[in-house]
Amino acid sequence: MPNYSTSAEIDASPEEVWAVLSDIERMPDWTASMTSVSIIDGPNPPDVGTQVRIEQPKLPLAIWLVDEWDPPRHFAWISEAPGVTTQAEHLVERLPDGRSRVTLAITQTGGLAWLLGGLTKGRTRQYVDTELRSLRARVAAEG
C-alpha cells in the first residue's frame, strides 16, 4: 500500500474545518489515531518547515516535517524512515453550498515502500478513516 485516500463532506465551512484540523497539537483530543502530537521545532501555528513529533498506537514514534501549508485549504507533512518516505495530505475544499469536502491521503515512496506499506496497510487505512470520521464529529460538536 503505497497510496490511500478517503474523502467526506462536512456540514461546515472550510474555515471552521481548518480551525480544528490545523490545531495539530490538539489532534489527540479528537482522534484515537493519535496518542501525542507536539511541535518540536518551528512556528506554532505551524508553517512550512515545522517539525512535529507524532505518536500513534502500535506504530513507532515518527518525526514529521510540514512541507505544505496553505490555510484554510491544504497542509501536508512528510516523515522519513530507512527506505521509505511517507507523505500525509489534508485537503479542505469549499463545496458550492458553502460546506466542505475533506480528503485525507497517505503516499509512501522509496525502495521499501512496498514492504512497509504491505505490513501496515490495514492499520494505515484504519487510522486515516478514523481521523476523517473523528474530524467530522469534532467539527459538528464545535459548530
**Which residue reads 506499506 in cell numbers?**
117
pLDDT at residue 114, rounded to an integer: 82
| Whether residue 2 has pLDDT greater than 60 | no
| Whether residue 16 has pLDDT greater than 80 | yes
Q: Is the dihedral of CA 60, 65, 66, 67 positive or negative?
A: negative
Give every CB contact of residue 97 below 8 A, 6+ residues apart in sequence. Answer: none
**DSSP output for 50-75:** -EEEEE-TTS--EEEEEEEEETTTEE
pLDDT at residue 1, rounded to an integer: 40
> What is the set of domains in the chain, with CATH numbers?
3-142 (3.30.530.20)
Quick check: helix, strand or coil at residue 120?
A: helix
